[in-house]
Structure 1
Amino acid sequence: MYQIYPRSFQDSNGDGIGDLPGIISRLDYLKQLGVGALWLSPVYQSPNADNGYDISDYQAINPEYGTMADMERLIQEARQRDIRIVMDLVVNHTSDEHAWFVNARTGMDSSTRDYYVWSDPVDGHEPNDLTSGFIGGSAWEHDSTSDQYFLHLFSAKQVDLNWQSPKLRQAIYDMMNFWIAKGIGGFRMDVIDMIGKEPFEKQLVNGPHLHDYLHEMNRATWADRDFLTVGEAWSAGPKEALQYSCPARQELSMIFQFGHLWADRKVGGEKWETHPISVPQLKAALYACQRELATDGWNSLFWNNHDLPRAVSRFGTPTGPNRELSAKMLAITLHGLKGTPYIYQGEEMGMTDCPVTMIEQVDDVEARTIYRQLRVQGDSATTAMEKVNRFSRDNARTPMQWDASLNAGFSTGQPWLAVNPNYQTINVQATLTEPDSVFETYQQLIQLRKTQPVLQTGAFQALAVPDDVIAYTRTLGEVTWLVCSNFGAEPVDVTLPQRVAKRLVGNYDDYPDQLGDVQLRPYEAFMVALQ
């Protein structure tokens, strides 16, 4: 799976915003990489309060991105290249400009009133103290027409849907079937663990009917089709992932779980509270997923997405010769695991974070809120910006770097978000002409995953190695492959099985053909077949 953030991928008309024709123009590149599906962040009609995750019409394309005819052509052109299109589905909330909500606000007897969560005032105030995740303050907004409050757990322009309404659920399933009929290959489901919320009980995730709703959705839409579904579930661990993805339950194909991404963050803390990466914590989380879903359910494998910092900046080294070494190391580590790998646009050439110096340069609504909160708490502007830069979603959203020309070949106009200044050296054109590139490593790994059953279904076994090393085997029948990765910038000694090894992929030119006691170089990683 390859994730595209359409706004930043390729602009075809010079308005500075990526679009569907731009994606179509790059399909041959994606075919060359070898991916089998493209997950598109939302391209629906939206006022863009949260860059498309506030949908005002599920069955219309935002004119910034093109037309429905462009969307249909993308589905068709991709399919001709053996690539399926996976749509981002946001059904926890809609825009306040969606016709459902506009109608709901006309009166308490409107036909879509119960599509949303409403409450009478309690002692003249909000029903409880739930807060908004994006803008701070109360998650309840007063509606003067009815003197009731409506719920928005994100921004006030993202109004929470009431999944307890059978009419609402059927309307959503009808909309999903509209897209399925157009030939898409799947849905990625935004904050899907929140649709069963019980806000008056302050239970925002994993509500009592969450899995009932997902089973009902399955049976009403993609049941018995060749169709992929992946849910975003920040609250889920490995055991919950099994609930979502166990085929017998007829819910989802898999979910994104985020346990491994706490390896550089304070558990229970805020986004900006970070510490140096703990590789033992990282591999413990990855291994737990491999073990819990060893025989049932399915894993999603990823380092980053449109909401997260760039992988090489977070887990590797973003500058110097170690950038490519660590980018390849991360690719090899991930693609050896059992599950479906996800590549975020630019990851295949080692694109990096893009720190900025002033809050005025930041587009991300969440990052701007965090900055204001930090300043109120007493941080200087410089300190607050340092913290915001660590986890600003803009890091992943800077335009795709295609070549060294103006605006990195993304647009002939002024890009909606500034291009990372390192585009003149880190770009697709450069990586395609470079021998033994990061791109080539991804290409090799994708081909192995497509053709080698041991990577698809082989059993996982962790190996005992030093803290900064991840090492494991995958075994299917008589075939055993070994993956070993040094997550540090210093050499480290490891003891591996005493076996002859045939190199499959690695990030150094030479490699040990006889395992045993081995010294791994900085960020060294390899995948070998044991003989």
Structure 2
Amino acid sequence: MEAPIKAPTPGAGGCGTVWWQSGTVYQIYPRSFQDSDGDGVGDLRGITARLDYLAWLGVDAVWISPFYRSPMADFGYDVADYCAVDPLFGTLADFDALISEAHRRKLKVILDFVPNHSSIAHPWFTESRASRMSAKRDWYIWRDPGPDGGPPNNWLSNFGGPAWTRDEATGQYYYHAFLPEQPDLNWRNPEVRAAMHDALRFWLARGVDGFRVDVIWHLIKDEGFRDNPQNPDFQPHQAGINRFHQVYSCDRPEVLDIIAGMRAVLRAYGERVLIGEIYLPIERLVTYYGPGLTGADLPFNFQLIQTPWRAEAVAALVAEYEAALPEGGWPNWVLGNHDQPRIAARVGEAQARIAAMLLLTLRGTPTLYYGDEIGLGHVPVPPERAQDPWGRNEPGHGRDPERTPMQWEDAPNAGFTAGTPWLPLTGDANRRNVDELRDDSRSILTLYRRLLSLRRDHSALSVGAWRGLALPSDLAAEVFAYERIADGETLRILLNFSNQGWSVPLDEGGPWQILLSTHSGRAGDRVERQLRLEPDEGVILGPPGR
């Protein structure tokens, strides 16, 4: 039986659609995109130099991970000044030039905003820890020791170990959900909210088109600081944070008021987007749209990263997510980012093509991660070159392999830097790079570009309705089938998650023409009644003659 049609937001496909609904977001990890000064670390001028590539690829918005002034304990996610560029990445003038050049190419710019915690070196924290009577003491979360003289409760750091560090000078503990160098701000304090809103306005006034808010579900903690309950399903191989259910240290109901306040700041500047990083189950994730859609425009949906890579599992996930969305809530999909193993490393090179077609044909806003379009997979990082603090605290959980440099050309260091790259490149960088792949009609880069072109040319793919299609049980275990519908046009997507071929019946809606296949040489073929899907093949079918 077919899944019911999930209609687009009113106005989608016509007047009322905003850019972040129809567009595609491309994430850049600035340390790893392009180095302009030979120090081995990417920078803002490097991003500006590669904007023509992004326009050629066909994305609509660029999300840039943090480049704020920082001691780099967590590579910029420990902010020492929310309104300054770290010299490692350039200057404010470099940022202004990047904004200007991106907008000239009709590319939007989204910044990473890190409001849950600052750096331990931020002047706010320096003042806060100076004395229990400091005017900024309550800007951070300070607690007396527990009855045994140890930490106030059992909360753990997401990066390993306790989430509380004792300050010997004042005798209290401060809370840090991540590294001790990243003390959490106290968002219950209205002065903190006002200061953070001012930081948002600083960048909005410079032309920023939106923000991705880091760990947005962590912003408010339980007022009573109760212990988190133990997780009876914890396994020794899991990260330590999984020993307890994080019911009191994050995902508190008051956080929706905080998000509504941020959204109100953005709305004063027109069509700006608020994206929230949220690693939660679907039923909790969708609450972050907020009552009356006053929350995040796009609560980031990471479910594809966490779901087993099987047709039945992915089909069930998509149907569950579509059904859970609140009325008017716009969906979004993510397959990779700077914190998760690359998609090609998770599913293999052949299925990475299926992943690309899935991401760019589901309903909602897709986010691409730099390098996925050239098929970057797992890059081995020798222990002596390891950089990630989480990996050093908890071996096996390092995120370096998904942060390696972008590979541009068959040249020293693949054209990323004239110096020594901060992380190694792939062993096949002389072949796996933009210059080698962009003119290859069979390459994964060409596939991404064609998919992005189809999204622009067919409103059914960018803003249309979604309908899941039923298949015979043997097929449904291996093939995911659905349609996208808008403006009187229906496109059908068939994705083979297996390494064997299948004949898929096309019982209705035909005749069809193959608009695009993950395999070369089939575009333009006319098909009726059934379609032979090759192993690891995905196709987009449309009406003949287009």
- TM-score normalised to structure 1 length: 0.88
Measured at CA, do residues 515 and 190 of structure 1 come closer, stay the same or move farther in structure 2, by a change above 3 Å? farther
Deviates more, 1:473-482 or 1:299-308: 473-482
Counterpart of 2:278 in structure 1 is 233
Partners of 1:169 and 1:210 in 2: CA distance? 12
Counterpart of 1:127 in structure 2 is 152
**Contact 1:291–1:460 at 8 Å: present in 2 too?**
no
Measured at CA, do residues 436 and 295 of structure 1 come closer, stay the same or move farther in structure 2, by a change above 3 Å? farther
Partners of 2:324 and 2:516 in 1: CA distance? 27
Structure 2 unmatched runs, 5+: 1-24, 229-247
Partners of 2:490 and 2:325 in 1: CA distance? 19
Deviation readout 1:220-263 (Å, 9 max, x if unpaired)? 343461101111100241x4444333693322211112223222
SS at 1:442 equivalent: helix
**Contact 2:266–2:272 at 8 Å: present in 1 too?**
no
Counterpart of 2:364 in structure 1 is 339
The reply to whether residue 461 of structure 1 matches residue 460 of structure 2 is no
**Contact 2:151–2:173 at 8 Å: present in 1 too?**
yes
Counterpart of 2:73 in structure 1 is 49
The reply to whether residue 514 of structure 1 matches residue 539 of structure 2 is no
Measured at CA, do residues 496 and 291 of structure 1 come closer, stay the same or move farther in structure 2, by a change above 3 Å? farther
Counterpart of 1:16 in structure 2 is 40
**Contact 1:46–1:54 at 8 Å: present in 2 too?**
yes
Deviation readout 1:372-408 (Å, 9 max, x if unpaired)? xxxxxxxxxxxxxxxx3xx642121111000111111
Q: Shift of residue 443 of structure 1? A: 1.8
Larger relative helix fraction: 1
SS at 1:433 equivalent: coil
Measured at CA, do residues 225 and 206 of structure 1 come closer, stay the same or move farther in structure 2, by a change above 3 Å? same
Deviation readout 1:257-280 (Å, 9 max, x if unpaired)? 22232224xxxxxxxxxxxx4442
Counterpart of 2:430 in structure 1 is 424
Partners of 1:54 and 1:441 in 2: CA distance? 37
Partners of 2:331 and 2:526 in 1: CA distance? 31
Counterparts in 2 of 1:151-190, with a 5 A limit?
A: 151-190=175-214
Percent identity of paired positions between Structure 1 and Structure 2: 37
Measured at CA, do residues 204 and 338 of structure 1 come closer, stay the same or move farther in structure 2, by a change above 3 Å? same
Counterpart of 2:234 in structure 1 is none
Partners of 1:463 and 1:128 in 2: CA distance? 50
Counterparts in 2 of 1:252-271, with a 5 A limit?
A: 252-264=296-308
Partners of 1:400 and 1:52 in 2: CA distance? 19
Q: Shift of residue 523 of structure 1? A: 1.1
Measured at CA, do residues 364 and 515 of structure 1 come closer, stay the same or move farther in structure 2, by a change above 3 Å? farther
The reply to whether residue 197 of structure 1 matches residue 221 of structure 2 is yes
Partners of 1:348 and 1:138 in 2: CA distance? 38
Q: Shift of residue 456 of structure 1? A: 2.9
Structure 1 unmatched runs, 5+: 265-276, 372-387
Q: Shift of residue 522 of structure 1? A: 1.5
Counterpart code for 1:484 = L
**Contact 1:399–1:417 at 8 Å: present in 2 too?**
yes
Counterparts in 2 of 1:132-531, with a 5 A limit?
A: 132-134=157-159, 136-198=160-222, 200-201=225-226, 202=228, 203-223=248-268, 225-237=270-282, 239-245=283-289, 248-264=292-308, 277-293=309-325, 295-315=327-347, 317-318=348-349, 322=350, 326-356=351-381, 358-371=382-395, 388=396, 392-465=398-471, 466-498=476-508, 499-508=510-519, 509-510=521-522, 513-530=526-543
Higher relative contact order (CA 8 A, sep 6+): 2
How many residues align? The count is 491
Partners of 1:278 and 1:519 in 2: CA distance? 19
* Cα RMSD, aligned residues only: 1.9
Partners of 2:139 and 2:380 in 1: CA distance? 40
Deviates more, 1:107-116 or 1:84-93: 107-116
Q: Shift of residue 496 of structure 1? A: 3.4
Deviation readout 1:425-482 (Å, 9 max, x if unpaired)? 1000001121243222222222222342212332211122321222101122532110
Deviation readout 1:185-206 (Å, 9 max, x if unpaired)? 1100111011122170341222
Partners of 1:247 and 1:460 in 2: CA distance? 24
